[in-house]
Structure 1
Amino acid sequence: MPKTPKDLFDCLDALGIAHSTVEHPPVFTVAESQGLRDQIAGGHTKNLFLKDKKGTYFLVTMEENAVVNLKSIHTLIGASGRVSFGKPEALMEKLGVAPGSVSIFCALNDDAHDVTIVIDAPLLEHDIINAHPLSNDATTSINREELMRFLAHTGHEPMILKVST
């Protein structure tokens, strides 16, 4: 059973990680979420759930305005050949969310460590990182160092690379 936003918040609290969450109407795209920028400071994220030819999955998290070359990103992240977007069924199976709700916090649902987490290095220039808390009707803010501590707790060692152009 996929974990819920409450499960995420309970995990962060148990780890002593400060976080704040703003609830808002559901947003499915970066464009829809841009109206929230005045309310929520920090770096806002977008995420790509990708699959390579051998069936390896990647979650690429970057700053919301970052641009990625999907024809060449595989050479940077170590994928086997070109990547494509993972299917919604795989997203639910691997990360426990529906399209529109994917975020770096989905690492909490990847108990099998089937998904490689990739963070675009420029995102980490922000002190505060903002992401959906397993649901697209809220945005959770967390300090970048605490985000790394959360990922370590989930057993994920993210690849930190400059994947944006």
Structure 2
Amino acid sequence: MASDAPLDHLNSEDLLERLAALGVVAETIRHPPVHTVEEALPHWAALDALHTKNLLLKDAKDQLWLIAAPTDRLIDLKRLPGQIGSKRLSFAKEDLLFATLGVRQGAVSPFALVNDRERRVRLVLDAALMAAPRVAFHPLTNTATTAVRTDDLRVFLESVGSEPLVVALDAALEEAAP
């Protein structure tokens, strides 16, 4: 599979091989390129897992944050800093995303942490993801989606030295509801 990832970063096939070497059972479906959750939904119907949206954000101190949440989760960027212990957040620029994680917009996921050799990115997982039996992410490309058991996601994250912050991202919204 051709890749436009930087030469020192893994591509999708490399990632799937690494998952297999870790003993992670991964189910991958191929589909046309998708850039939004809405575009992906028809393809994801064939994959039994909790599907996600993923954001790479940068705070005022240049800390990078990868936020992964269920597709239906509302993420309030004004409340999020307080939930994760950060300051003002903004979306990371495409060139920073590519240089750090080796992926383009639309392919961001916790799997991309395999390419974060400098460990610049803090991972935040919505608590609902960690409660699901299986979760699905793009495997470094937006032309495929890969589902793994949540326990296997933990195995992968440990293998890349990432200790996620698990937060109920909707808690502040629920507390504010009448």
The alignment's TM-score, normalised by the length of structure 2, stands at: 0.89
Gaps of 5+ in 2: 1-7, 174-178
Q: Counterpart in 2 of 1:20?
A: 27
Secondary structure of 1:32's aligned partner: helix
Secondary structure of 1:136's aligned partner: coil
Task: Work out which of the two has the higher radius of gyration on C-alpha atoms and give 1 or 2.
Answer: 2
Equivalences for 1:107-146 in 2 at 5 Å? Answer: 107-146=113-152
How far off its partner does 1:163 sit?
1.5
Gaps of 5+ in 1: none
- 4+ residue segments displaced more than 4 Å: none
The residue type paired with residue 25 of structure 1 is P
* Cα separation, 1, equivalents of 2:39 and 2:45: 14
Is 1:86 matched up with 2:92? yes
How far off its partner does 1:119 sit?
0.2
User: Identity of paired residues, percent?
Assistant: 37
Contact 1:2 1:97 (8 Å CA) reproduced = no
| Residues matched between the structures, number | 164
Secondary structure of 2:72's aligned partner: coil
How far off its partner does 1:37 sit?
3.4
Is 1:36 matched up with 2:43? yes
Is 1:9 matched up with 2:16? yes
| CA shift digits 1:121-159 (9 cap, x unpaired) | 012222110100000000001000000110000000000
| CA shift digits 1:3-60 (9 cap, x unpaired) | 1011101111111111110000010000101112321111001001100001000000
* Cα separation, 1, equivalents of 2:65 and 2:81: 10
How far off its partner does 1:93 sit?
1.1
* Cα separation, 1, equivalents of 2:57 and 2:169: 13
Equivalences for 1:38-117 in 2 at 5 Å? Answer: 38-79=45-86, 81-117=87-123
* Cα separation, 2, equivalents of 1:55 and 1:145: 31
The residue type paired with residue 63 of structure 2 is T
